Structure 1
Amino acid sequence: RQPYEPDARERRLLGLGGAEQSTLYRAVGCEQCDYQGYRGRSSILELLKIDPGIDELIARRATAREILTAARAKGFKTLADDGVRLVRAGATSLEEVMRVVDLTDRMA
């Protein structure tokens, strides 16, 4: 892997503040990874616990946005959030997360 400093767009996607130090990594192929840039697997997860509040929202046919807002207030993390966590931890690259998860909501 090759370290680099993220540009403004990448910093916005990752929720990094202007002064916050952050080194990201790009995948670079080598013999150990068979020139793929990655070795092994990591999973990104999204698990919504259906508690009474979420159950009520579903029962009254709330919008997906309303359910997401309520879930986030209780600590829910999306696939994008979990992918970004792995990027910030240096476990994968932003490019790899963007390949499998839509991050457009994070651009706002």
Structure 2
Amino acid sequence: MSDITYTTNEAAHRYEASIGGQLAGYAEFNLLTDAIMFTHTEVLPEHEGKGVGSGLAKHVLNEARDKALHVIPVCQFIAGYIRKHREYADLVRPDVQRAFKI
């Protein structure tokens, strides 16, 4: 896997993953009072299969934990990542877990 760097693009409301200085993928979000809602995650076709999506999901969930934010995983990729990686389930409130089948 290539070295992936992660940045926050506040103006675009998204976390970005880059490889070699080129955008490889992103996770769009809306910041709420005490939560972060992830609405869409995308990996650019030329970077698929390089771990960009899973690395990005791990990064954004760790950021949410560090900032003490609850997660609302509207994005099915982020919701699926949490289902597979139960160590992040505590970031999602029980009522939201039920809504997104976490």
* TM-score normalised per structure 1: 0.29
User: Which structure carries more strand by proportion?
Assistant: 2
Greater Cα radius of gyration, structure 1 or 2: 1
* TM-score normalised per structure 2: 0.30
